[in-house]
Structure 1
Amino acid sequence: MALLNYSRVFSKTLNSKAVSRTLTPSFARLQIRSMATSEIKKIQIQRDDTTFDAYVVGKEDAPGIVVLQEWWGVDFEIKNHALKISKLDPGYKTLIPDLYRGKVGLDAAEAQHLMEGLDWQGAVKDIQASVNWLKANGSKKVGVTGYCMGGALAIASSVLVPEVDAAVAFYGVPPNELADPTNIKVPVQAHFGELDNIVGFSDVQTAKALEEKLKASGKPYEVYIYPGVTHAFMNTSPEGVERRKNLGMIDQTEADPADVAWSRFQTWMNRYLSA
């Protein structure tokens, strides 16, 4: 499957739920307000012949974690995640590379367009440059995590970026022509929702196929499937919950798996980055 077609498979599933309606102006204002935090610092990173923006927050000289965006871009939710990760004990320095170069999708149609236009190999180079920036700025070890599109890229990075020390992916698996998970070089943990219906990307069958490939790699791995929840279940902010509802992502459980997933994430990253 070509990478562009891979993006379209993902987009088609969401758009089949009639989710491409534009967000209300009040929600857009709420989004901008959520992104306003003085703790996150904007920097620029050079790689090859291009420069891209990135966002950094957390303890100096702490282990680093590159945090990879969903198909929306660098929006309020990915910044929420990076800020939360930076505060997990014993403290991390997190960095979000802006893979879309400043563009953010405010509805599913925009996000689809941005994801379809992504240079996936170029994104991996951005991730490598981000990992190297953290290691050059005080982080002895650096992990990669991501959500949705970023989850797939986190797994791809565990195959293609030798400087990565560990990875955690949330509901996203890369196509084999980008990176075969059988060839991961570092410990990988992955999280999926039982009701996720994005076939070939983050549904249960894809999660189980990933688990078999990780097993074949011989590297440490964990794969978790959370009952009764759909795609993007880590997005628990008021804005994120509203957006998931607008996308037709209706969970069928009163349990909140996000806290459990965060605990597993923390244990994994501590084990491989803080030792």
Structure 2
Amino acid sequence: MKKIWTLFAALLSTATMASAQSAMSCCTKPATATETFAMLASNEDFSGGHDAPLPYTYAGEGETIEFKTTDGQTSKAFEIKSNIRSDKYLFVIHEWWGLNDYIKKEAAQYAKDLPGVNIIALDLYDGQVATDPDQAGKLMQGVKTDRAQAIIKGALLYAGPKAQIASVGWCFGGGWSLQTALLAGPKAVGCVMYYGMPEKDVAKLKTLNTDVLGIFASQDKWINPEVVAQFQKDMAAAKKKVTIKSYDADHAFANPSNPKYSKAYAADAHTAAVAYLKKNFKLKG
């Protein structure tokens, strides 16, 4: 009899654990697109494909600004204001290295290419900048979705109620460029995403107020052609327009500090991005 009760208790314990695991699996909030991409930081091939950026110091125009975020905190960003009064804003979102001087240089280039547009390079790492892949991976994995969204929402409030918002980002920032367009709601007028993780929730994609320019690399092992094809299907299901430019290159081909950098493809992609943004902002010339 004692053996029977022991067996019964063991079976009851196993059933209880299975039930708890089942409840956890069905009730746990699924990872977002950006969180899914952040998980790649633990992949040695992914981190190994990103050489540390070469030393560079930006010494051009622009200034650091601070604004309130929707979670009761503050955030800093790098801003280059338009020479004329404007409600047009381009949010520039950094790679997994953080808001370093390379990103400030990119912001300055967009300011030159898009006269009449205010450029704001956001900082989703709250002041932290990585100088090696291991550190970058930890920072990317450490980003909390709620905090990143609060920063973006704060920047939207900073831009003002009449703001027209477009976004551009690379890698980690590519995924967040699309999320920015979603958060901007009716203010969104453009979105450029370089090899970032697409949003997979069609219901969310249906809320987009803009089309999307997606720039990808056919040799990318992570944001690969299959991921891009699914994104096209999801956007079609959401009845939203997406233009895909795919290059015979590898992930991060537009980053000058990447050993697989392609100067020609990077230049062509940038030209396409500028043309798209000029059209969506309805800029003259």
Matched-pair contact (CA < 8 Å) for 2:37–2:197: no
Counterpart code for 1:154: S
Pick the aligned partner of 2:179 from 149, 152, 156: 156
CA offset at residue 52 of structure 1? 0.7
**Alignment partner, residue 93 of structure 1:** 118
Q: Does 1:12 align with 2:42?
A: yes
CA offset at residue 183 of structure 1? 4.2
Partners of 1:53 and 1:184 in 2: how far apart?
26
Matched-pair contact (CA < 8 Å) for 2:189–2:210: yes
**Alignment partner, residue 264 of structure 2:** 256
Partners of 1:171 and 1:55 in 2: how far apart?
23
Q: Does 1:217 align with 2:238?
A: yes
Query: Deviation digits for residues 139-198 of structure 1, max 9, x if unmatched?
Result: 742211111111101112222331322111111024547984454332211100111112
Segments of 4+ moved more than 6 angstroms:
none
Query: Deviation digits for residues 37-79 of structure 1, max 9, x if unmatched?
Result: 2412001010231011110014143421000111111012211
Matches within 5 A, 1:90-239: 90-135=115-160, 140-162=163-185, 163-174=187-198, 176=200, 180-198=204-222, 202-227=223-248, 229-236=249-256
Distance 1:255 1:52, change over 3 A: closer
Pick the aligned partner of 2:62 from 40, 43, 50: 40
Distance 1:91 1:230, change over 3 A: farther
Partners of 2:51 and 2:192 in 1: how far apart?
31
Partners of 1:10 and 1:77 in 2: how far apart?
23
Q: Does 1:2 align with 2:2?
A: no
Q: TM-score, normalised by structure 2?
A: 0.77
Give the share of equivalent positions with the same residue, in percent.
Answer: 20
Matched-pair contact (CA < 8 Å) for 1:145–1:168: yes
Partners of 1:21 and 1:159 in 2: how far apart?
28
**Alignment partner, residue 6 of structure 2:** none
Matched-pair contact (CA < 8 Å) for 1:192–1:224: yes
**Alignment partner, residue 52 of structure 1:** 75
Determine helix, strand or coil for the equivalent of 1:16. helix
CA offset at residue 23 of structure 1? 4.8
Distance 1:178 1:47, change over 3 A: farther
Query: Deviation digits for residues 225-274 of structure 1, max 9, x if unmatched?
Result: 111x11112223xxx2xxx12xxxx36xx771112211211121112213
Partners of 1:89 and 1:156 in 2: how far apart?
22
Partners of 1:189 and 1:45 in 2: how far apart?
28
Counterpart code for 1:234: A
Flag structure 1 segments of 5+ consecutive residues without an equivalent: none
Pick the aligned partner of 1:73 from 98, 119, 123: 98
Determine helix, strand or coil for the equivalent of 2:237. helix
Report the RMSD for the aligned CA atoms in angstroms.
2.8
Counterpart code for 2:244: V
Partners of 1:152 and 1:130 in 2: how far apart?
17
Task: Say how many residue pairs are matched.
Answer: 249
**Alignment partner, residue 275 of structure 2:** 267
Matched-pair contact (CA < 8 Å) for 1:155–1:174: yes
Distance 1:179 1:108, change over 3 A: farther
Higher relative contact order (CA 8 A, sep 6+): 1
Matched-pair contact (CA < 8 Å) for 1:155–1:181: no
Matched-pair contact (CA < 8 Å) for 2:47–2:137: no
Distance 1:224 1:38, change over 3 A: closer
Matched-pair contact (CA < 8 Å) for 1:156–1:178: no
Matched-pair contact (CA < 8 Å) for 1:167–1:186: yes
Partners of 2:142 and 2:233 in 1: how far apart?
30
CA offset at residue 203 of structure 1? 1.6
